[in-house]
């Protein structure tokens, strides 16, 4: 047997002794089964945790993929908006003083320059509808505007009227009041659809005003209304072209009230998202006053392949470990059967020898190294995997001390650990506080190992310890490589943020200085030309009116350039410092969203480094953006102070708070918080979040002054 030192069995054991032997025999089997069951339960729990973690990682990849598709759709719709905005500017610049639109030839030349047939696949038609009088005061059955220009066909002036159906009329009123693009969705007529089932028709409208920039009040905008840029969007082609980039992911788009399915086409049911998909997610895209619900679903097996493989591999290793542990306990428990009668012993040996042979075969074929020692910590079992792990033959190891395979500096601690474990009633446990120990090969090489230990006693009360060992070198190296790659990614992220800030600064400066100066010079030249023409006899009043319209358009362009430059990077952040930049940001936030902001910004004379000022400004900007998008708050407080060698930034609101998934970054829309954490980590600071449902959101950032202070200002 495995444990040495058994006493010889008596010639004729008494019946009571035989019954004790049978009881010990059954006890050995029960102990082996219990050990194997415990290992299997632990393996099942660990395998389920591993599978859940791998499925979470697959879900995150799917969320990222669907977010990219949503971003592509938003970008395509913005391109269509810019095309309509440009057409609006063209119509406004070409109108006569009487309000007549440009000629069909001028419209043809403008469309030819745009090359819409190649550049804008989602625009099926593009035209201009002229409003007459107070169009919105007319009866509902009266058209709001008359279509006078249309690409690719020309309609005669006033041939077609728009705005007689409720959907279109509401969209036109919304566009006129907001000076923004508006969508109208309604069922298409049979002749407008190429399929047997008519698809919803999506029309887009962009207002054209006689005044530039348009008035600020809705009533004044309606009074200044000249007409609408009218476009029909080919949404079926748009969604199909974007969905084709992810062929293994199904896409369903629903919009309008009542809800209408825009994609996939009704005649191709095979493209519908599968009801038993592995992953499903719904994004919301708001455009033109309408809300698009984008549902993504996939059954791509490549997303779950890692989870299936990892779970199966973990379960297989656990089953092997359970068999090995049970075999070790059974083999040494059988020693209790030895001191019985010769006949009974022979009968029991004859019946148990095949079982022992099978158990020894399991131990020898186990993928884990198995070593058994006695109370004197001498080796009595050394399986082939242990030979391979420690590069030592079993004949050399058995009978020797276990200390041979432990580095000298750990031997005393290991001896005390075994003695303490033997004094307890515990059946098994992990060895080492961090579950990773250091082993010593026969050739003197040290290596990391993971170990678990089990103790049992034979029939004579002697204790034995079975240790299962696993070489952890590969796992430790993988963890170190993961740490190195994580640090490399963080350095890359920091570099990308720096490059992006530099690029934003460069673009903002060029917009503010170069483009702004050129537009100012252009306005001065235009004013000079206008003054010259006003004093020249025979100049048509329409030419002077067109020059005045051009001046207003230049003013609007200058204002847009300044706003874009400020959004990219406020010039005052580099010129005046952090505090004025944050004050401007808070004032702009209050103006845009009407939310009251209480501020307490103390370090007025503090010298921040460029990187520190940029990080704090971007953190405040991201926090206020989250408040505007998600918080539904009525009051916000921003505090910035320097105390005890640290810089404290606190942004709090009284909004709806956030869920645990949103805070921990698992909801798919919390990239802002992730960016804040990365910025703070690069500066050696900490981020804390306090939130609960309907109890507001508090973001607190602590940064060391040494990381954000100017070098010349350091003590």
Q: Which CATH class is domain 573-715?
A: alpha beta
May I ask the CATH architecture of the domain 115-235? 2-Layer Sandwich (3.30)
Q: Which of 15-19, 115-119, 395-399 has the highest mean pLDDT?
A: 395-399
The mean per-residue pLDDT over the stretch 544-550 comes to: 82
- 457-505 per-position pLDDT tens digit: 766 667 888 888 877 787 788 888 888 777 777 667 666 766 766 676 6
Q: Does residue 606 or residue 576 have the better pLDDT?
A: 576
pLDDT level of residue 207 (50, 70, 90 thresholds):
very high
Every domain of the chain and the residues it spans: 115-235, 240-300, 368-471, 473-569, 573-715
Average pLDDT, the chain: 77
Show the tokens assigned to 251: 């896409």
CATH pick for 368-471 out of 1.10.3720.10, 3.30.450.20, 3.40.50.10490, 3.40.50.300: 3.30.450.20
Mean pLDDT throughout 346-358? Answer: 56
Stretch among 172-176, 218-222, 521-525 having the lowest mean pLDDT:
521-525
Specify the pairing of strand 635-643 against strand 596-601.
parallel
Q: What's the confidence (pLDDT) of residue 268? A: 47
Of 706, 506, 491, 503, the closest CA to residue 612 belongs to 706
pLDDT number for residue 340: 41
Query: Tens digits of per-residue pLDDT, 683-693?
Result: 889 999 988 87
Residues 251-285, buried b or exposed e (16+ Cβ, 10 A)?
bbbebbeeebbbbbbeeeeeeebeeebbbbbebeb
* Domains 115-235 and 368-471 agree in fold: yes
pLDDT, residue 322, reads 78
Q: What is the mean pLDDT of residues 181-206?
A: 73
Residue 160 has pLDDT above 80, yes or no: no
pLDDT at 512: 66
Angle 504-509-511 (CA atoms, 0-180°, nearest 5)?
95
What pLDDT digit, counting tens, does each position of 330-349 carry?
Answer: 777 665 444 443 444 444 44
Distance from C-alpha of 359 to C-alpha of 365, rounded to nearest angstrom: 10
- Model confidence pLDDT, tens digit, residues 124-154: 888 999 887 777 777 777 888 888 888 887 5
Residue 158 has pLDDT above 50, yes or no: no
Q: Tell me the mean pLDDT in the region 588-594.
A: 87
pLDDT band for 4, please (50, 70, 90 cuts). Answer: very low
On whether the CB atoms of residues 101 and 148 are closer than 8 A, the answer is: yes
pLDDT reported for residue 672:
74
Quick: pLDDT tens for 661-700. 767 654 445 667 878 888 888 888 999 998 887 888 999 9
Looking at residue 709, the DSSP 8-state letter turns out to be B
Contact 487, 474 (CB under 8 A): no
How many other C-beta atoms lie within 10 A of the C-beta of residue 25? Answer: 18
DSSP for 593-643, please give it.
H--EEEEEE--TT--B-HHHHHHHHHHHHHHHHHIIIII--SEEEEEEEEE
Distance (Å, whole) CA 356 – CA 326: 12
| Residue 352 tokens, joined | 């148990």
> What mean pLDDT is predicted for residues 229-249?
84
**Mean pLDDT value across residues 389-406:** 85
Whole-model pTM: value is 0.43
pLDDT bucket at 643, cuts 50 / 70 / 90? confident
């Amino acid at each position: 047997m495995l444990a040495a030192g058994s006493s010889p069995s008596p010639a004729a054991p008494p019946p009571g002794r035989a019954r004790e032997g049978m009881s010990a025999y059954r006890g050995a089997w029960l102990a082996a089964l219990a050990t194997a069951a415990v290992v299997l339960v632990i393996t099942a729990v660990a395998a389920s945790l591993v599978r859940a973690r791998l499925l979470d990682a697959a879900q995150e990849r799917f969320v990222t993929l669907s977010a990219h598709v949503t971003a592509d759709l938003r970008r395509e719709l913005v391109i269509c908006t810019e095309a309509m905005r440009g057409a609006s500017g063209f119509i406004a610049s070409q109108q006569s003083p009487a309000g007549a639109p440009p000629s069909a030839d001028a419209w043809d030349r403008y469309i030819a320059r745009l090359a819409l047939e190649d550049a804008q696949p989602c625009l099926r038609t593009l035209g201009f509808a002229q409003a007459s009088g107070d169009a919105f005061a007319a009866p509902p059955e009266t058209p709001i505007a008359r279509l006078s220009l249309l690409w690719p066909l020309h309609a005669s002036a006033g041939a077609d009227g728009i705005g007689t159906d409720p959907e279109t009329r509401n969209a036109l009123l919304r566009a006129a009041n907001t000076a923004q693009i508006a969508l109208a969705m309604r069922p298409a007529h049979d002749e407008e659809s190429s399929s047997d089932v008519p698809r919803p028709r999506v029309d887009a409208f962009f207002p054209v005003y006689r005044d530039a920039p348009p008035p600020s009040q809705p009533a004044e905008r309606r009074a200044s209304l000249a007409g609408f840029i009218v476009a029909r969007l080919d949404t079926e082609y748009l969604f199909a072209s974007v969905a084709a980039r992810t062929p293994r992911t199904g896409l369903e788009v629903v919009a309008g009230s009542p809800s209408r399915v825009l994609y996939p086409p009704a005649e191709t049911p095979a493209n519908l998202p599968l009801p038993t998909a592995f992953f499903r997610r719904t994004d919301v895209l708001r455009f033109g006053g309408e809300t698009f619900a984008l549902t993504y679903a996939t059954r791509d097996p490549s997303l779950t392949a890692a989870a299936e493989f990892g779970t199966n591999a973990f379960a297989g290793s656990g089953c092997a470990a359970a068999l090995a542990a049970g075999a070790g306990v059974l083999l040494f428990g059988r020693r209790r059967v030895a001191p019985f009668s010769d006949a009974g012993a022979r009968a029991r040996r004859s019946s148990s020898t095949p079982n022992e042979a099978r158990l020894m075969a399991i131990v020898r074929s186990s993928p884990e190294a198995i070593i058994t020692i006695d109370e004197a910590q001498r080796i009595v079992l050394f399986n082939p995997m242990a030979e391979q792990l420690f590069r030592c033959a079993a004949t050399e190891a058995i009978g020797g001390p276990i200390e041979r395979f432990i580095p000298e500096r750990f031997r005393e601690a290991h001896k005390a650990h075994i003695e303490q474990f033997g004094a307890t009633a515990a059946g098994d446990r992990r060895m080492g506080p961090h579950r990773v120990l250091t082993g010593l090969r026969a050739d003197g090489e040290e290596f990391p190992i993971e170990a678990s230990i089990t103790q049992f006693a034979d029939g004579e009360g002697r204790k034995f310890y079975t240790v299962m060992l696993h070489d952890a070198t590969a796992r430790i190296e993988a963890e170190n490589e993961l740490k190195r790659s994580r640090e490399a990614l963080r350095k890359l992220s920091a570099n990308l943020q720096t490059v992006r800030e530099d690029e934003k600064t460069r673009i903002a400066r060029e917009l503010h200085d170069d483009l702004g100066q050129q537009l100012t010079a252009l306005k001065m030249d235009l004013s000079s030309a206008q003054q010259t023409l006003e004093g020249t006899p025979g100049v048509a009043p329409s030419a002077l009116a067109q020059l005045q319209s051009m001046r207003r358009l230049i003013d609007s362009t200058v204002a847009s350039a300044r706003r874009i430059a400020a959004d990219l990077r406020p010039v005052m952040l580099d010129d005046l410092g952090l505090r004025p930049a944050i004050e401007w940001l808070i004032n702009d936030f209050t103006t845009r969203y009407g939310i009251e902001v209480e501020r307490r910004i103390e370090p007025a004379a503090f010298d921040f480094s460029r990187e520190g000022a940029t990080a704090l400004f971007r953190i405040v900007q991201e926090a206020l953006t989250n408040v505007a998008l998600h918080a539904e708050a009525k009051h916000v407080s921003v505090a910035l102070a320097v105390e005890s060698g640290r810089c404290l930034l606190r942004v709090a609101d009284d909004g709806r708070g956030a869920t645990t998934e949103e805070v921990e970054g698992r909801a798919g829309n919390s990239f802002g918080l992730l960016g804040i954490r990365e910025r703070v980590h690069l500066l050696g600071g900490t981020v804390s979040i306090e939130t609960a449902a309907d109890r507001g959101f508090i973001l607190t950032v602590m940064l060391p002054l040494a990381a954000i202070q100017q070098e010349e200002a350091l003590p």
